[in-house]
Amino acid sequence: MKVVLYIILGIAIIVVGFFVWFFVFFLQVPELNIPKNSSEKEKIVLIDNWLEKLNSQRKFNGGILITKNGKPTLAKTYGFTNSKKTEKLNINSSFRLASISKQFTASGIMLLKEKEQINYDDLVSKYISNFPYHNVTIRNLLNQTSGIPDSYLDLAEKAKGKIGVLTNEKAIKLIIENKPKANFEPNEQYEYSNTNYIALARIIELVSNQSFENFMANNIFIPLGMNDTRVWNLISEDKTFKGKTDGFEDLAGEIREIKPTFIDGVAGDGGVFSSLDDFVIWDKFWYQNKLISNENLKEAFKRPTLNNGEKSNYGFGWVIIKDDVVMHNGAWLAANTYFVRNTKKKTSFVLLDNSSNLFFEKIIGSIR
């Protein structure tokens, strides 16, 4: 009897020990200690060493970019492009940006405005026939004040057997056919909805008579020299492309690839891939560029005024933290992304990861 008890006790100790180890080692992130009197160069070295350590512990697989006055002070990657770990990441590796893609979609709309092909206060129904939300404007979509519920995923799931790969056209068609009830009247309040940005991408397609992917390439990415940046999804002609990263999950040593599903033929709310190298160009774009006037660029960072006179904090694909600090983040298919700009200090910070990182927010908080 004593032997049995000892065996049970031994097993219990092993199990408890495993969970203690799992909590202490795997669920904790070592602190980033930066002394207050550290120089900028010293801070960069400490951050770099810390991320190297996290990567060695399988707690970070991605890249970081820190810029000042348009020049990188740290641009480095840690880890691999895919679950098989056959290729190392580099500053030209293209990461899935998830919802950071929204600011790219907004830039496409802004370019159409620049070319006088649309106006921000045009009704969406002017461009999308039978659009069920009659008083919603393009500006409402951009500012996330439309009241349109974020229901396209649920609608697509119900129609899964009929629609094949979901596209922007099919997603908007589902909205038109099902007419989900609006959550509020336009401009009554702010409510984040991916559907808003799919509708914007669809407007770009209809006005330009191009796919969203081709429009963004021909009018934004190629002119800016963003060679590692593109819209890519399941309906892209290229089944893959040079430098593309694939999402994977690394949980306690178990590694598996995270693959797109039938809904990943839409774009606008997501779908853009980009690199650390191209983010240097993208940061500069928002200060001044040859495509969009400075007056028009400023529209992206204006706090919208709601019907009750209060200000919201979502611009054109940007969360406005303060007048001189804007950001966006994203998460989809194992990708975690973060981009913040301080326009007063002329600094930016980008963090990208393709490994379903459980510690992503902690890492951001430590560096920021």
As annotated, the active-site residues are 99
Cβ count within 10 A of residue 55: 18
At residue 3, the pLDDT reads 53
What mean pLDDT is predicted for residues 9-18?
Answer: 48
Rounded to the nearest 10 degrees, how much is the dihedral formed by the CA atoms of 24, 25, 28, 33? 110
Residue 187 has pLDDT above 50, yes or no: yes
Question: 292-309: per-residue pLDDT in tens?
Answer: 999 999 999 999 999 999
CA 180 to chain centre: 26
Domain architecture of the chain: domains with CATH: 40-367 (3.40.710.10)
Closest C-alpha among 194, 172, 181, 178 to residue 128: 172
Closest C-alpha among 42, 120, 106, 115 to residue 74: 42
Total residues found in the chain within this entry: 368
At residue 21, the pLDDT reads 39
Closest C-alpha among 278, 75, 344, 104 to residue 204: 104
What mean pLDDT is predicted for residues 32-59?
Answer: 95
Q: What is the pTM of this model?
A: 0.92
Residue 171's φ and ψ, nearest 5 degrees, are -65, -45
Question: 52-92: per-residue pLDDT in tens?
Answer: 999 999 999 999 999 999 999 999 999 999 999 999 999 99
Band of residue 23 on the pLDDT scale cut at 50, 70, 90? very low
At residue 19, the pLDDT reads 40
At residue 69, the pLDDT reads 97
Question: 99-153: per-residue pLDDT in tens?
Answer: 999 999 999 999 999 999 999 999 999 999 999 999 999 999 999 999 999 999 9
Residue 237 has pLDDT above 60, yes or no: yes
Taking the C-alpha atoms of residue 250 and residue 120, their distance in angstroms, rounded to an integer, is 43
